């Protein structure tokens, strides 16, 4: 006759569910759903698709290596971005060795001159729309310090980099809104185009330093196609795409933008994206 443990539940009693694997798997799925937005953030932070995607891949590797990072008491989005920042900080902000010379080296040298953690806080706040309290959780700092970092970042990245910007947007009110924002920042708008063909013509005539492009245009043409047709003539000028569906552009499967604004956008988002794109353009480090 087998021995029974007095602590065992009575025969026929329901067994306690084994929750840990289910909870962990659910958290992993929810974290994975946030990956396109991490790619967007990492690309804006580094200034290129390749560098940003290396950081995103390193973040996923860290989560797979240490499942305890999947804290069920924290939102999946914060888990993902907090893990990214651990990788970002521990790697010395360089997943791969930087080149000995060239534009990427110059960009990294300029980044090194900024106050530590300022651009990270600004992008988290404006592009990814985290609250200051959430930024504090991600960067493991008080919310008051996150607020201060955002303020410093505005001063350091938005000053002294004027440029000529072309807008590709088929909705007149949105186009005028964007124009007003970038002109208030001190930039010149070379023109507004509502279709792919108009954008190609305008871009070739004016040679902008930066392009702000909606994806779906009035005649069912594409802002992406317009940009692809222009880049051989303009060189790799920085491009900021505007879309209501960013996850469709951030798959990691093809050349994609380093800078992406989600509709409906805020003035802060536009200002931040333009500032980051011009910051890298001023060092000749461009998208993808």
pLDDT at 286 over 50: no
Rounded to the nearest integer, the mean pLDDT of the chain is 79
pLDDT at 264 over 50: yes
pLDDT at 188 over 60: yes
Token reading at 164: 């000529």
SS3 assignment, position 190: strand
pLDDT range class, residue 202, cuts 50, 70, 90: very high
pLDDT at 16 over 50: no
Q: Cα(104)–Cα(115) distance, rounded to whole angstroms?
A: 19
Higher pLDDT, 22 or 190: 190
SS3 assignment, position 29: helix
Q: How many residues does the chain have?
A: 288
pLDDT at 246 over 80: no
Token reading at 95: 């997943």
Q: Cα(193)–Cα(168) distance, rounded to whole angstroms?
A: 5
Q: Are 85 and 120 in contact (CB under 8 A)?
A: yes
- Domains along the chain with CATH numbers: 19-156 (1.20.140.160), 160-281 (3.40.50.2300)
Q: What is the DSSP letter of 242?
A: E
Of 127, 112, 113, 130, the C-alpha closest to 42 is 127
pLDDT at 114 over 80: no
Give the C-alpha distances (Å, rounded to integers) separating 141 from 31, 124, 176, 213.
22, 14, 38, 35
pLDDT at 275: 82
pLDDT at 111: 59
Of 43, 47, 44, 31, the C-alpha closest to 269 is 44
Report the range out of 42-51, 248-257, 278-287 with the highest average pLDDT: 42-51
Biggest CA-to-CA distance, the chain: 93
pLDDT at 80: 94
Q: What is the DSSP letter of 163?
A: -
Give the C-alpha distances (Å, rounded to integers) separating 207 from 7, 79, 114, 200.
79, 42, 30, 10
pLDDT range class, residue 190, cuts 50, 70, 90: very high
Backbone angles phi, psi at 146, to 5 degrees: -60, -40
pLDDT digits (tens, 9 = 90+) for 59-72: 999 998 888 888 88
Token reading at 153: 């970042």
Q: Quick check: pTM over 0.75? A: no
Rounded mean pLDDT, 204-225:
90
Q: Cα(106)–Cα(258) distance, rounded to whole angstroms?
A: 18
pLDDT range class, residue 130, cuts 50, 70, 90: very high
Q: Cα(219)–Cα(217) distance, rounded to whole angstroms?
A: 6
pLDDT at 181: 94
pLDDT range class, residue 17, cuts 50, 70, 90: very low
pLDDT at 153 over 90: no
């Amino acid at each position: 006759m087998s021995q029974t443990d007095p602590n065992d539940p009575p025969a026929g009693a329901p067994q306690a569910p084994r929750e840990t694997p289910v909870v962990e798997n659910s958290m992993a799925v929810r974290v994975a759903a946030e990956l396109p937005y991490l790619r967007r953030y990492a690309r804006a932070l580094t200034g290129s698709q390749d560098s940003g995607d290396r950081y995103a891949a390193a973040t996923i590797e860290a989560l797979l290596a240490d499942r305890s990072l999947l804290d069920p008491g924290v939102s999946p989005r914060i888990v993902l971005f907090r893990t990214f920042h651990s990788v970002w900080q521990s790697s010395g902000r360089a997943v791969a060795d930087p080149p000995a010379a060239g534009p990427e080296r110059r960009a990294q040298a300029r980044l090194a001159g900024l106050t530590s953690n300022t651009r990270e806080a600004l992008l988290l706040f404006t592009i990814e729309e985290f609250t200051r309290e959430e930024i504090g959780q991600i960067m493991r700092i008080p919310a008051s310090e996150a607020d201060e970092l955002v303020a410093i970042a505005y001063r350091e990245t938005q000053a002294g980099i004027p440029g000529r910007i072309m807008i590709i947007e088929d909705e007149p009110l949105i186009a005028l809104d964007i124009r007003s924002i970038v002109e208030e920042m001190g930039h010149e708008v070379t023109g507004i185009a509502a279709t792919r063909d108009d954008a190609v013509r305008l871009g070739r005539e004016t040679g902008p330093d930066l392009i702000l492009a909606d994806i779906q245009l009035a005649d069912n043409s594409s802002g992406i196609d317009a940009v692809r047709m222009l880049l051989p003539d303009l060189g790799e000028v920085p491009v900021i795409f505007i879309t209501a569906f960013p996850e469709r552009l951030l798959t990691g499967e093809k050349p994609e933008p380093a800078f992406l604004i989600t509709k409906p956008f805020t003035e802060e988002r536009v200002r931040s994206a333009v500032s980051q794109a011009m910051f890298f353009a001023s060092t000749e480090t461009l998208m993808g």
